[in-house]
Amino acid sequence: METEDSELCFPELINSSCVKGVVNSLVTTLLIVLEFITALSTAFLNLLVIISVSHFRQLLSSSNFILLSLAVSEFFIYLMIYPFEVLYPYTCWFWGDLLCFLKSIFSVMIVSASVGTMVLISVDRYVAVCDPLHYSTRMSVKVVSVGLSLCWSSSFHFSLVFLDKNMEDLNFPRPCYGKCFYRVTFPLVLFELILTFFLPVVIVVLYMRVFVVVLSQVRAMHSHISAITFGPSATGNAKKSEVKAAKNLGVAVVVFLICFIPYYILILPWNLSKDSSFLVFLGRLLLLNSCFNPFLYVL
């Protein structure tokens, strides 16, 4: 049976060189190819969303404007970030610290903008379901534009802070040479905590509230239509559409939790310095959440 071997990035540095995996297993090769196909397919789906919303003026509503922002962030995630994460265990980094930091801050900016946009989507759906009379004012295009601007600008600002902190000392201790490492500072720990815990909690709480309201509306609508005796067809159609909406919200919450909770548990401050294949897998699992978003939020 074939096994996966490894070799040093710098053979001359036996005691300090990082190790890269060697792909000599058919299963590993097929998994890598499958992940690349998934990445390109997801990038293509998000590109279709970008083109559709941008091209057709009738689609430029406040909610679709948020979906456009999500599609843009996730297009870059799957075109430029996810492929690198797939190849990370099997490659070495030979392009210096500056490019390593630039790659890292780009990843931080895009992923944080994606999570922030998902928060705005959950707020949009919460207002639409729980306060529909004030939806047009509370979630107007102007309000949404301000929210998205804050989301992207704050992500970009933190990325610059992250770069500045790493550029202060380029000779920080590294576990080995040949991989892309960055310094873990308190601002990064705090930002990771907000990004991977507090914002997901906000999303889950809002979606659970919407889920409860939708279910109560299903029951109320079912009772009301049955009392008026519109017939079983109308009752079934009304209930079916509402139940489908409730199921979609439930699936969105479950997928989000599956992708984010494992990463959060191991991204706590005392685990941040670890560099293992398992942590790489959890990072890819977090990014995999973006693969489902075109189906959960758009289609």
Q: What local confidence, expressed as pLDDT, does residue 291 receive?
A: 77
Q: 5-298 maps to which CATH number?
A: 1.20.1070.10
| Tens digit of each residue's pLDDT (9 = 90 or more) over 13-32 | 888 888 887 777 787 788 88
Distance from the Cα of residue 12 to its chain's centroid: 39
- Contact in structure between 113 and 148 (CB atoms under 8 Å): no
Q: What local confidence, expressed as pLDDT, does residue 145 receive?
A: 92
Which of 152, 54, 42 is CA-nearest to residue 86? 42
- Contact in structure between 68 and 54 (CB atoms under 8 Å): yes
DSSP string, 238-275: HHHHHHHHHHHHHHHHHHHHHHHHHHHHHTSGGGTT--
Q: Please, what is the end-to-end C-alpha distance for the chain in angstroms?
A: 43
Query: What tokens appear for 9 in the block?
Result: 């990035």
Q: What local confidence, expressed as pLDDT, does residue 169 receive?
A: 64
If phi over 0 gives left and psi between -120 and 50 gives alpha, with beta otherwise, what is residue 178?
left
Q: How many CB atoms lie within 10 A of CB 234?
A: 13
Q: How many CB atoms lie within 10 A of CB 87?
A: 14
Over the chain (299 residues), the average pLDDT of each successive run of 10 is 61 84 77 87 90 82 89 90 82 82 84 87 86 88 92 86 68 79 71 72 81 75 57 50 62 76 61 54 72 71
- Contact in structure between 139 and 62 (CB atoms under 8 Å): yes
What are the boundaries of each domain within the chain? 5-298
Q: What local confidence, expressed as pLDDT, does residue 298 receive?
A: 62
Q: What local confidence, expressed as pLDDT, does residue 279 receive?
A: 64
